[in-house]
Structure 1
Amino acid sequence: MDAVEIPDWCRDVRRVAVLTGAGISTDSGIPDYRGPDGVWTRDPKLADAFTRDRFMADPQVRARFWHTYLGHAAWRAEPNAAHRALAELDRAGLAVRILTQNVDGLHQLAGIAPRKVLELHGSMRSVVCTGCRARSDAQATLDRVAAGESDPTCRDCGGILQLGVVLFGQYLDEDVLDQARRIAAASQLLLAVGSSLLVEPAASLCEVAVRAGARLVVVNRDPTPYDGLAAEVVREPIGTALPRIAAALTASATQRN
């Protein structure tokens, strides 16, 4: 077997935080948002359905939102090589924590324990009532949509139902964000993977990590606002880059042992 090349920024790393965006899931058949074939690129007006104020005010917007998720590719998607590489890195004994902007649940399906995955923008696998705050499994609500309810309401209080995701104009959960900042600050290496790093405050976790002394490596097809802080910027496809990086980190940790 060929020796694994270990970059300097991989050495002496035991604590790894991974900030993941839509780009890590495109190989699983889930389109990103701002890429050449992204959701917003193909249909800019669809962003209205993902804006909190519009969603709450307009039943037609909510109907379009639910219809979009009814046939969402994530329901059929499987973890790809990048997701699996991170799960393997975790199994290798490094302290891995996932800070994901994605709502698809593929990190957990790849084998990362749910307690090690922080879903910054929520999860499409749950539904919350905006009135009584009751939570339920998303599939039950989607079944109602499939049966003809264009704008399903809460069966307990009649309130508007929302998929358990953070919409534009909606604040991230402060407890989740505080935990993400603590994880970023405690890491020795932060990998920012498949994210444009344009959406705040999630993107600012890169700066939090660097200020605390961590190394930042950006793995993304396009330039990001945080490339200047990075120890390395990787432009190769994520599905090949992450297995290579995970192998280097594992090899470095093994050498120390």
Structure 2
Amino acid sequence: MALVLVTGAAGGLGLDTANALADEGHEVVVHVRNRARLTEAGDTARWEGVVTGDLAEPDEIRGVARQASGFGRFDTVIHNAGVMNRPEDVTVNTVAPYTLTALMEKPGRLVYLSSSMHRSGSTDLRRLTSGSASYDDTKLWVTALALAFASRWEGTTSHAVDPGWVPTRMGGRGAPDDLTAGHQTQVWLATHPDATPGTGGYWYHQRVQTPHPAAQDEEFQARLIETLEQYTGVSLD
């Protein structure tokens, strides 16, 4: 069985992902913003552990990394936490996944939540540091990070997942995609032995899709990582 961390697991796709993994018998550590949100996460006794922290706050991101590191090396980390059209989009959607990845021991597998909207994102990284980034920008950047990490560390695979436009609190009741399918790819990538490609995939409902060209551009990936290193003061290696 695998030891898996799921961020943003108090509700929505994060909770669905955590529940599905626990149902399969895996040891699941869930991240929530604060302890009060645990009441929304069902039977907390089923979790291997809980880490707390607001991923919109840089100091708390580091705190989440410290708490998670107390469980040892994870087999899989699923970077699910996200917000949309809020001032903290860039911090939660891009800076937090980067910082957690940089500070934690490298797991066997990394899975990052993207969005089809990443295809409308900008490659102008001045937006990252100026506070003018859109949701689409942040999802392009986290997709590029996922694909950059795919070849960076021996023994660690990395993928990006578009869960679809599903009827969660973020997606809204009228979202047309299937809610169950929204978490199945993450669960599959977290535990399945033979996903193809083995690393560096951009997935939608267990099928590989073609992402924004910049997400696969090694030069853009390098510029993005350098920008995040300077912005956060956290080196990747």
- Please report the TM-score for the alignment, with normalisation by the length of structure 1: 0.41
Q: Which has the higher contact order (CA 8 A, sep 6+)?
A: 1
> Which is greater in Rg?
1
